[in-house]
Amino acid sequence: MTTAAQNCANCLKPEHLCVCEAVNPVDNEVCVVILEHPQEKREILGTAPIAKLQFKNAVVRVGLSWPNLKRIVGREVDYKRWGVLYLGAAKQGEAAAKDEIAVVDKNGVPVAGSAEILAGLEGIILLDGTWSQAKSLWWRNAWLLKCRRIVLHPHFKSLYGQARREPRRESVSTLEAAAFVVARLEGQPELFDRALKPFALLLQKMRAPRPKPAPPAADVEEAGESPPAT
């Protein structure tokens, strides 16, 4: 099913880039909250819509600011049991700085008991947009400072490749970050590849030659041919 703009009404991608055939939702316990910058919503390669389809326990909100996390998830929350993917990096030279996932303090220093903190999280928050857009979301939502700060140093490379320029070598898409964290926190590494299948299909279709549209029936008739039977 498509909208008037010829975008899939389900995955929100252009009709020729629809990824619905690869959608296979994950029944995740850790809640995934994505705060999407309004300008990112227009990006064809944006992954927030895919994340919403792939994670049953997920919330995507488009905007610049919200008064608190309760308003987003619709229930009372304990901020210490929520982690936000922090824009900075763990300080080099620290013991946990090379871990693929770590909890850090406001100075970027890995905190003691990081594994226990991660194990107790009930949800994660991701800021979806370019580097500058994500920073804007961070500073406009002061309540994020109450959450645990999580940094990633993934050993895998983003599927984006050359399709979209990232500010850092270790940068990954919002979907990849969410899938990686959920898989780690829930102890199910197989969820990572499963969650990324629609994203991989999107990139495959982006790189493939776009099929030419069929000529209008009027043009066919002018060429002296009969229009196809209906």
Neighbours of 162 (CB within 10 A): 6
Q: List pLDDT tens digits, range 29-42.
A: 999 999 999 999 88
Q: List pLDDT tens digits, range 88-142.
A: 655 555 444 468 899 999 888 899 999 999 999 999 999 999 889 999 999 999 9
pLDDT value at residue 158: 86
pLDDT value at residue 4: 46
pLDDT value at residue 230: 45
pLDDT > 70? residue 229: no
The amino acid present at 6, given as its one-letter code, is Q
Q: List pLDDT tens digits, range 39-63.
A: 998 888 899 999 999 999 999 999 9
Give dist(CA 143, CA 113) in Å, integer. Answer: 23
pLDDT value at residue 14: 93
pLDDT value at residue 13: 94
Q: List pLDDT tens digits, range 129-176.
A: 988 999 999 999 999 999 999 999 888 888 876 555 554 555 789 999
Residue 131 neighbours by CB under 8 Å, 6+ apart: 87, 167
180-199 burial: b if 16+ Cβ within 10 Å, else e: bbbbbbeeeeebbebbbbbb
pLDDT value at residue 165: 58
**Poorest-pLDDT segment among 13-22, 72-81, 143-152, 160-169:** 160-169
Q: What angle do CA 63, 64, 70 make, to 5 degrees?
A: 80
Q: If we measure between CA atoms, which residue out of 127, 123, 124, 95 comes closest to residue 111? A: 95
Backbone angles phi, psi at 202, to 5 degrees: -60, -45
Question: Which residue in this structure is represented by tokens 């693929």?
Answer: 100
Secondary structure in 3-state letters for 171-205: CCCHHHHHHHHHHHHCCCCHHHHHHHHHHHHHHHH
